Structure 1
Amino acid sequence: MTYILGVNAGLGIFHDPAACLVDEHGTVLAFIEEERLNRVRHSAGVKAPALAVARCLETAGIDAADVDVVAVGWDEPRMSARQGAPWHFDSPRHLLGQLGFYGPQLPDLQFHPHHQAHAASAFHASPYDQAAVLVVDGNGEDECISIYRARRGQPLVRLERWPQVFSLGHLYEAASLWLGLGRRGAGKTMGLAAYGATDNVPDPGWLSVGPHGLISALGTSTGDDYYATKDRWHKRIRQFAGAAGPQQPTANLDADPNAVKVAAAVQTTVETVVSWMAGQVREMTGIDNLCIAGGVGLNCAANGRLPGELYVPPVPHDAGVALGAAWSLAAPREAVVFSAYTGGLPGPLPTDLGSVTAQELDVDRVADLLAEGRIVAVCRGRSEVGPRALCHRSFLASPVTAQMRQWMNSLKRREQWRPFGPVTHTDPGLWEPAGHLERYMIGAARLTCSGATALPAVAHVDGTTRPQRLEPGQEDFVSAVLDALVQRGHPPVLLNTSFNGPGEPLVETAGQAVACVRRLGADALVVDDALVLTGDRAMVPG
């Protein structure tokens, strides 16, 4: 058996280190982000995901000596040669040591271009035998947008790329910083943008499409680094807004016209450029099937507006290059849609549960709680990779009352203007189908009129929602709960959101789940085959 370990690691990375272990057939044995283990959201500044590497080896039941190749999702030597200090690549032995590999017999170390690793992670996870691939992020070694042609059994072919001055990722980050939402606040910015009437927002001219292609307000220079590009976008956003920042605090940004204008403008820019790029990559490759990777692939609203066959993996952001680097050496030979459940198991419940006790899991009891308007936390099976909770590390609730959105946002200590998405195991006819985007809750879909009426807790202000549809056999427990709810006259839909508190990653273990429920408050906790009734809701309905 040959083992290949892919990593998002190295001196050049800024966030989301991760590790992924595959065999020679490309079968994913384990894939987990460092943040789930060190409990630091995005793990910014962590250059070597040593905890994630160790967990992958433990999950597969092998030792470090069994790993044949370590594949890195960055061309570290090329970055080092171009940048010099502080991105100086010391030696393979030094990086391998940081990842937990020691001794005289070390695995081979190979480096793969960042965007190539992104493209591989999207295409080989998809159901397609051939696809056009679009990579859009902050930046790779040199580029921020790339176009690839992919065919199963053949090397990826890069057809075009654009330098950092065209970076949608850096522009969106600058807007999020201006809004006071932080460097990693893109998801909040996307949610805020829906409060703006985009038809009335003036075109800021940041990035646009002209008769000869993409135009950047920053020009065409290839010499700007990340910091210079970000600062230049910051100045452009301040000029557009006419202010140094919002007038309202974060909790009230939806009531700040200037903040909404900036969010809507940057979101419209992303949607315009991504839509044009999607057309370009399909035209250049002659292939209708489209895969998207890179951090901008997390923009559900932009994804949901794209026509045709589309696949975005559950981990399109930088953590995904751990998977792509591994698959650059051992790609799956057949098209099998990727399962996101690649992390660790919850482990046993803590022995000290205080005044509450665990009982055997009862689907009907859980359905009763949800039908009564209670909030149930779920920590079952292997954790899902990526930022979207897919029912293995989720808070679940009934979406049939508008109040539930307020209660859930209060429980999670979130801004009240932020939206939620639904999960189902059928086609309820309550939103427009979103195809493969529904697999991982990674695309917006427009609610039907009946859907907006029936599911007010997951209806965003612009009439969209971000759905997840469970495939047969994918998640038997939640599917059984949905069936039980239908028997009670409830629609086959639940509100599904991430099982975590503010500023922290999704819970990984049973102990973390118990601590999070105690800290935030929820009515019940499901851990594998146990049900814990807490009665600790942090707010009182009504």
Structure 2
Amino acid sequence: MTYILGVNAGLGIFHDPAACLVDERGTVLAAIEEERLNRVRHSAGVKAPALAVARCLETAGITAADVDVVAVGWDEPRLSARQGVPWGFDSRRVLLGQLGFYGPRLPDVQCIAHHQAHAASAFWGSPYDQAAVLVVDGNGEDEAISIYRARRGHPLVRLACWPQVFSLGHLYEAASLWLGLGRRGAGKVMGLAAYGATWNVPDPGWLTTGPHGLISTLGTDSRQDYEATKHRWHKRVRSFAGAPGPQESAGNLAADPAAVRVATAAQATVEQVVGWLAGQAREMTGIQQLCIAGGVGLNCAANGRLPGEVYVPPVPHDSGVALGAAWSLAAPRQPSVMTAYTGGWPGPLSDGHGATPRDLDVDRVADLLADGHIIGVCRGRSEVGPRALCHRSFLASPVTSHMRERMNALKRREQWRPFGPVTHADPGLWEPAGHLERYMLGAARLTEAGAAAIPAVAHVDGTTRPQRLQAADEPFVHAVLEALSQRGHPPVLLNTSFNGPGEPLVETADHALACARRLGATALVTDDALVMTGDRAAVPG
């Protein structure tokens, strides 16, 4: 058997290092992000995901000597030349050593252009035989936007690209920094933007579309690098806001008109440009099925507004190039939507944890949830990507609006931030979002009945971000949803990530128990036990 290890690693990496192991048929044997193991959110500055590599090998039951090729999701020779350092044997040996590979037998190293790896991560795990592929992120080696034509059995073909001065990722980052939410605050910006959905926010003209194509206020200079582009976007955002920063703290940004206006303008720009690019991708390829990758692919509000068939992989951001680099060398031959559950198992709770496990019973867990308790779930292999998909989730009943306040308080989050639902059926409470519901990557508008029935997952603009859970994805949670339905409860739960502020999702049962206790969840569901972690009687109104 041939083993190919894809990595987000090397000179080009800024954040989200990851590893993915596939065989010669493109079967994903393991894929995991470094942050789940080193417990540092996004692992910024880590150039080699050595822990993730080791976990992939361990999961597959092989050693480093069994790996035939390491596929890097960046064009390392091109980046090395830019730094005046030739890429050669020594460069490969250094990178392999950082990843945990030492002689005498070393794998080959293949470098895949960053956007090509993104595109591969989206198309080869999609349900399509052919698709238009749109890649939108901060930047690859040079480009910030790319369009590809993809067909099974054929190489990906790039049809168009735009340089960094057109970067939606860098623009959105500038808005996040102005808002005081940090470089990685894109999800918060998106949530805040909904508070200005009914406002008449003027178009800042940062990026515009029309008969002359895509136009950037930064011009067309393809030589602009990240630092120069970032600085210029920051100036544009400050000028539009008319102030050096918001007047309110992060926890009260929804009450700050200038902050809402900046977030709304940034989100409107993304939605307008992504919508235009989606149309361009379909027109250039003549294919209506659309795949999206790149960090901007995590913008579920923009995804949800796109017409037609849309697929976004569970790892559209930079971690996904580990998957895409591997698939660039060994792609799946048949269309099949990939599973997101490719990480490690939680393992047993260690001795001395001080908790008393109880029998794992569907009805008992359903009763706790129906009674208003918050429960953590840490079962099966962990999800790859940033969305908790019921293997590493906090779950709660969404039937009262107060649960949103409670869950935000438990997670130490800003009260203006929204949550999404998970269901196993079609409850008719929101407009269907197609494949975007598989990984919780598309916003959907709630029906009038949905807004009334599950207010805890209704955002201020009337949308929600749903997940449709299949029985094979997580049988126990699926059974709990069915049990709730039989009790007359909507077959829906509030589903959010099992972590505290600034932390990656929990990976092991011990991580989960410590987190549940620290934050104050009532109970923890593991592979084989229900562990009570809090005072069952202490359920706020």
TMscore range, shorter length: over 0.9
AA aligned opposite 1:52: A
Residue 325 of structure 1: aligned partner: 325
In 2 relative to 1, CA 465–86 (structure 1 residues): closer, same or farther, beyond 3 Å? farther
In 2 relative to 1, CA 156–86 (structure 1 residues): closer, same or farther, beyond 3 Å? closer
Residue 529 of structure 2: aligned partner: 530
Query: Following superposition of structure 1 onto structure 2, how do residues 134-283 of structure 1 map, counting pairs within 5 Å?
Result: 134-197=134-197, 200-283=200-283
Aligned-pair Cα RMSD in Å: 1.5
Residue 382 of structure 1: aligned partner: 381
Question: For residues 537 and 118 of structure 2, what CA distance do their matches in structure 1 show?
Answer: 40
Q: Please list the CA deviations of residues 79-116 of structure 1 after superposition, one character each: whole Å capped at 9, or x if unmatched.
A: 11124379999510000000000012100000000000
In 2 relative to 1, CA 80–198 (structure 1 residues): closer, same or farther, beyond 3 Å? farther
Residue 336 of structure 2: aligned partner: 336
1:91 aligned counterpart, secondary structure: helix
Q: Please list the CA deviations of residues 3-61 of structure 1 after superposition, one character each: whole Å capped at 9, or x if unmatched.
A: 00000000221000000000000000000000000000000000000000000000000
Question: For residues 454 and 86 of structure 2, what CA distance do their matches in structure 1 show?
Answer: 51
Q: Please list the CA deviations of residues 295-337 of structure 1 after superposition, one character each: whole Å capped at 9, or x if unmatched.
A: 0000000000000010000100000000000000000000011
The yes-or-no answer on 1:434 pairing with 2:433 is yes
AA aligned opposite 1:195: Y
Deviation at 1:529, TM superposition (A): 1.3
1:314 aligned counterpart, secondary structure: coil
Query: Following superposition of structure 1 onto structure 2, how do residues 87-166 of structure 1 map, counting pairs within 5 Å?
Result: 91-166=91-166
Query: Following superposition of structure 1 onto structure 2, how do residues 433-472 of structure 1 map, counting pairs within 5 Å?
Result: 433-472=432-471
Deviation at 1:155, TM superposition (A): 0.2
Residue 24 of structure 1: aligned partner: 24
What percentage of aligned pairs have identical amino acids?
82
CA contact (8 A) 1:126 1:336 kept: yes
In 2 relative to 1, CA 263–100 (structure 1 residues): closer, same or farther, beyond 3 Å? same
CA contact (8 A) 1:407 1:539 kept: no
Q: Please list the CA deviations of residues 320-371 of structure 1 after superposition, one character each: whole Å capped at 9, or x if unmatched.
A: 00000000000000001100000000001122232x3001201100000000
CA contact (8 A) 2:513 2:533 kept: no
CA contact (8 A) 2:134 2:278 kept: yes
In 2 relative to 1, CA 538–8 (structure 1 residues): closer, same or farther, beyond 3 Å? farther
CA contact (8 A) 1:16 1:33 kept: yes
In 2 relative to 1, CA 55–418 (structure 1 residues): closer, same or farther, beyond 3 Å? same
Question: For residues 90 and 389 of structure 1, what CA distance do their matches in structure 2 show?
Answer: 40
CA contact (8 A) 2:29 2:56 kept: yes
AA aligned opposite 1:150: A
AA aligned opposite 2:431: E
AA aligned opposite 1:273: V
In 2 relative to 1, CA 306–453 (structure 1 residues): closer, same or farther, beyond 3 Å? same
CA contact (8 A) 2:190 2:301 kept: yes
Deviation at 1:535, TM superposition (A): 2.0
Question: For residues 31 and 352 of structure 2, what CA distance do their matches in structure 1 show?
Answer: 30
In 2 relative to 1, CA 198–170 (structure 1 residues): closer, same or farther, beyond 3 Å? farther
2:329 aligned counterpart, secondary structure: coil
1:482 aligned counterpart, secondary structure: helix
Query: Following superposition of structure 1 onto structure 2, how do residues 292-307 of structure 1 map, counting pairs within 5 Å?
Result: 292-307=292-307
Q: Please list the CA deviations of residues 129-176 of structure 1 after superposition, one character each: whole Å capped at 9, or x if unmatched.
A: 000000000000010000000000100000000000000000000000
Q: How many residues align?
A: 541
In 2 relative to 1, CA 478–149 (structure 1 residues): closer, same or farther, beyond 3 Å? same
Deviation at 1:472, TM superposition (A): 3.8
Alignment TM-score, normalising by the size of structure 2 = 0.98
In 2 relative to 1, CA 513–63 (structure 1 residues): closer, same or farther, beyond 3 Å? same
Question: For residues 509 and 472 of structure 1, what CA distance do their matches in structure 2 show?
Answer: 22
CA contact (8 A) 1:198 1:265 kept: no
- More deviation, 64-73/203-212: 203-212
Residue 69 of structure 1: aligned partner: 69
In 2 relative to 1, CA 85–171 (structure 1 residues): closer, same or farther, beyond 3 Å? farther
Question: For residues 73 and 504 of structure 1, what CA distance do their matches in structure 2 show?
Answer: 25
In 2 relative to 1, CA 442–218 (structure 1 residues): closer, same or farther, beyond 3 Å? same
Deviation at 1:218, TM superposition (A): 0.2
The yes-or-no answer on 1:408 pairing with 2:407 is yes
AA aligned opposite 2:412: R
AA aligned opposite 1:437: L
CA contact (8 A) 1:520 1:538 kept: no
Deviation at 1:473, TM superposition (A): 2.2
Question: For residues 230 and 498 of structure 1, what CA distance do their matches in structure 2 show?
Answer: 30
Query: Following superposition of structure 1 onto structure 2, how do residues 393-404 of structure 1 map, counting pairs within 5 Å?
Result: 393-404=392-403
Residue 476 of structure 1: aligned partner: 475
1:318 aligned counterpart, secondary structure: coil
Residue 499 of structure 1: aligned partner: 498
Deviation at 1:198, TM superposition (A): 5.4
Residue 419 of structure 1: aligned partner: 418
1:134 aligned counterpart, secondary structure: strand
CA contact (8 A) 2:372 2:539 kept: no
In 2 relative to 1, CA 3–193 (structure 1 residues): closer, same or farther, beyond 3 Å? same
CA contact (8 A) 2:424 2:481 kept: yes
Residue 488 of structure 1: aligned partner: 487
Structure 2 stretches lacking a partner, 5+ long: none
Question: For residues 265 and 89 of structure 1, what CA distance do their matches in structure 2 show?
Answer: 48
Segments of 4+ in structure 1 off by > 6 A?
85-89
1:200 aligned counterpart, secondary structure: coil
Q: Please list the CA deviations of residues 367-414 of structure 1 after superposition, one character each: whole Å capped at 9, or x if unmatched.
A: 000000000100000000000000000000000000000000000000
1:292 aligned counterpart, secondary structure: strand
Question: For residues 384 and 298 of structure 2, what CA distance do their matches in structure 1 show?
Answer: 13
AA aligned opposite 1:219: G
Query: Following superposition of structure 1 onto structure 2, how do residues 325-364 of structure 1 map, counting pairs within 5 Å?
Result: 325-354=325-354, 356-364=355-363
2:195 aligned counterpart, secondary structure: coil
Q: Please list the CA deviations of residues 205-239 of structure 1 after superposition, one character each: whole Å capped at 9, or x if unmatched.
A: 00011321000000000111101101100000000
Q: Please list the CA deviations of residues 487-512 of structure 1 after superposition, one character each: whole Å capped at 9, or x if unmatched.
A: 21100000000000000000000110
AA aligned opposite 1:186: A
AA aligned opposite 1:497: T
2:481 aligned counterpart, secondary structure: helix
AA aligned opposite 2:310: L
Deviation at 1:197, TM superposition (A): 3.2
1:105 aligned counterpart, secondary structure: coil
Question: For residues 198 and 136 of structure 2, what CA distance do their matches in structure 1 show?
Answer: 22
The yes-or-no answer on 1:49 pairing with 2:26 is no
In 2 relative to 1, CA 512–426 (structure 1 residues): closer, same or farther, beyond 3 Å? same
Structure 1 stretches lacking a partner, 5+ long: none
